[in-house]
Each structure stands twice: as C-alpha cells, then as structure tokens.
Amino acid sequence: MSRLQELIERMEKLKGEKEASISVHDYQNTEDQDIADYVDDSVGLNRRAILKGDYRITVFLTVDFMTETAAILDQGREVLIPSIGARYPNTKLNTIEKIYIALMDEKYMVRVPEDIAFKARRTLERC
C-alpha cells in the first residue's frame, strides 16, 4: 500500500471518529476532490454550509474568506481550514497530509465574532 493510500485510509477513519465532512472547491486539485464528501463552486459550498447534516466538523478546502463565510452560515459546527492564509492561487498548496493534520488536531479553526455572525445571518434571512 502506498503512503498516500495509507493516509487516505487513516483520514477516512478519522472523519468517522470526529464526525467530520470535507468540502472542496471545484478548482482544487483532483487529489483533494477525490477525498471530498462534497465538491462544488462557491455558491454550492455556501448552500452546503446552511444545510444541516450529520457531521460536527467541516474541513473546507477553499480560500480563507470562503471558509469564514462557511463559519458564519454553518452554525453549531466547527469549521477548519488546512492552510492559514489560503488565497488565490495558494489554495492549491493544500495537501492530503495538511488536511489530515488539520482534522486530527482540529487545527486552524475558523472563528467569527458572534456579533458579526449574527448580523450576517440576519442580513441573509432578509434575502
């Protein structure tokens, strides 16, 4: 078994243990998309964040501001990003190993101040 395949298997097990889901932007590497539970564009990822699923943690592979948006919309769940400061074109620097470490350590949790999150959700409810 290759190192990559072993890491993917360990990540699948870890996702189950931590009740996690991996959402990936459709411009990410094919390798990242292959391990994703959900792949879509920006609008689709935001819609997914609003939907309630049976997971506690979302690992988001996209630019940092999209992850912050997900943290606002995905109330009650932890939102993690594998690479701090992920901006175009640096989002392709995400690797399966970074994703695994972010999930294992629940590292790089995205936090949005509650007053800002409240105002953003209230604005969205008016739409």
H, E, C per residue of the chain: CCHHHHHHHHHHHHHHHHCEEEEEECCCCHHHHHHCCEEECHHHHHHHHHCCCCCCEEEEECCHHHHHHHHHHCCCCEEECCCCCCCCCHHHHCCHHHHHHHHHHCCCECCCCHHHHHHHHHHHHHC
Higher pLDDT residue, 63 or 7?
7
Task: Output phi, psi for 39, to 5 deg.
Answer: -130, 130
- Cβ count within 10 A of residue 61: 30
Tokens of 81: 């990003």
pLDDT in tens, 16-70: 999 999 999 888 888 888 889 999 998 888 888 777 778 899 888 887 788 888 8
Higher pLDDT residue, 9 or 123?
9
Tokens of 93: 């620097």
CATH superfamily for 3-122 is NadA-like (3.40.50.10800)
Q: What is the pLDDT of residue 86?
A: 59
Q: What is the pLDDT of residue 16?
A: 94
Burial of 85 (0-12, 13-18, 19+ CB in 10 A): exposed
Q: What is the pLDDT of residue 27?
A: 84
Q: What is the pLDDT of residue 90?
A: 54
Instruction: Identify the CA nearest to 96 among candidates 24, 35, 54.
Output: 35
pLDDT in tens, 69-127: 888 887 788 888 887 765 555 555 667 777 777 888 887 777 888 888 888 878 777 76
